[in-house]
Amino acid sequence: MDLLAIDSLSDDQIATLLAEGERWAEANRTGAVSQAPLEGRIVFNLFYENSTRTLMSFSVAAHRLGAQVVTLPVEQSSAKKGETLDDTARTLNAMRPDALVIRHFENGAPQRMARIMDCPVINAGDGTNEHPTQALLDALTIRSHFGRIEGLKVAICGDIKHSRVARSNARLLPRLGAEVRLAGPPALLPADFEGIGDVDTAIEGADVVMMLRVQRERMADDLGDAPGEYLARYGLTAERLKRASPDAVVMHPGPMNRGVEIDSAVADDPQRSLIPLQVEIGVAARMACLNLLVGARP
Ligand code: NCD
């Protein structure tokens, strides 16, 4: 089994991953991870895009489960000599890893990899398409704070157009009973966008406000806005957050552009910000994914 997209998971698989994620989060918190269910297994990390938390999170998760991690330094790999992704897949497959985690700048690259690899392939983010383990960790984070997801209003705001995090969350959270409201600057909404659109409206009464990074590296032209303009018009400030529910929490998948999509006062507010918790729970979510996919193999 691979983990490529939210829609390829059944409701039962999602429920299992969340329950297992909760179990690992608790074990990590109390230091009670004594077993090493993936001992002797080898996990390949293949990151064609920059990453801090997702790369480290998968590595830590695999190590905590007792597996060994081999990370391909893509910058020094044969991809730079013109090797195709399919040939890279055939090469890596011949080494018989037990799982492969891939992040790639092209939509669909993990699917291509999975067609060739015999081991489970996990999508750690492909282009502007999906980032399923981020959505799972976001769901777990919301559930760990509120004790539920059902009935919550989740505003996801910012660069929706380029966000695989928004796409995966917009597929997962409604299946768990949340109302998802997507909003951002008109230039950063997808062409076929239907929904709220306006950031202030989306935040109104929201229980969760999830801000997204402005992904300048995926834009042909710069937004051209003056410093501070994005924050004032579309970013999350303490003032704008007042529109949300009084108990609202703030999330961000990271990395943050401080002072652009989010003000530091909000990002660092210990009463409101779940951002460090997202990272902590991210390890547990990936432990659940790796254990389910790799541990199930004969
Ligand atoms: C995101 C990503 O790479 O999709 N980051 C992450 O994985 N936590 C979001 C982003 O890059 O803005």
Model confidence pLDDT, tens digit, residues 156-171: 999 999 999 999 999 9
> Is 164 near ligand 1, meaning CB less than 6 Å away?
yes
Amino acid residing at 146: F
Q: Is domain 132-274 given the CATH code 3.40.50.1370 in the classification?
A: yes
Q: For residue 109, report the phi and psi dihedrals to the nearest 5 degrees.
A: -60, -40
Sign of CA dihedral 79, 82, 84, 88: negative
- pLDDT tens readout for residues 236-269: 999 999 999 999 999 999 999 999 999 999 999 9
Measured from the CA of 49, which atom of ligand 1 is nearest? 3
Atom of ligand 1 minimally distant from the CA of 213: 12
What is the residue extent of each domain of the chain?
6-131+279-294, 132-274
d(CA 108, CA 141): 27
Task: Decide whether 6-131+279-294 matches 132-274 in CATH topology.
Answer: yes
* Ligand 1 pocket, residue 134 CB under 6 Å: yes
Q: How far is CA 1 from the centre of its chain?
A: 19
Give tens-digit pLDDT for 66-121: 999 999 999 888 888 889 999 999 999 999 999 999 999 999 999 999 999 999 99
Ligand 1 atom closest to residue 131's alpha carbon, by position in its atom list: 4
Cα(244) to ligand 1 centroid in Å equals 24
Cβ–Cβ < 8 Å for 156, 210: yes
Q: Which atom of ligand 1 is nearest to the CA of 165?
A: 4
Q: DSSP letter string over 181-228?
A: EEE--GGGS-TT--S-B-HHHHHTT-SEEEE----GGG-SS---PPTT
Q: What is the pLDDT of residue 296?
A: 59
Q: With a cut of 70, say whether residue 201 has pLDDT above it.
A: yes
Q: Rounded to whole angstroms, how far apart are CA atoms 37 and 137? A: 21
**Closest approach atom of ligand 1 to CA 215:** 12
- Give the model's pLDDT for residue 196: 85
Cβ neighbours around 265 below 10 Å, total: 15
- Ligand 1 contact, 131 CB (< 6 A): yes
What does the angle CA 234 – CA 235 – CA 240 come to, to the nearest 5 degrees?
90
For the domain 6-131+279-294, what is the CATH superfamily, name and number? Aspartate/ornithine carbamoyltransferase (3.40.50.1370)
| Cβ 267 under 6 angstroms from ligand 1 | no
Confidence grade of residue 193 (pLDDT, cut at 50, 70, 90): confident
Assigned token pair, 81: 């000599």
Whether the CB of 123 sits within 6 Å of ligand 1: no
Tell me the C-alpha distance between 268 and 275, whole Å.
8
The answer to whether 252 and 275 are in contact (CB under 8 A) is yes
User: What gap in Å lies between CA 103 and CA 19, rounded to an integer?
Assistant: 25
Q: What is the DSSP string of 96-128?
A: --SEEEEEESSTTHHHHHHHH-SS-EEEEEETT
pTM: 0.96
Distance 256 CA to ligand 1 centre (A): 9
Binding site membership of 165 for ligand 1 (Cβ less than 6 Å)? yes
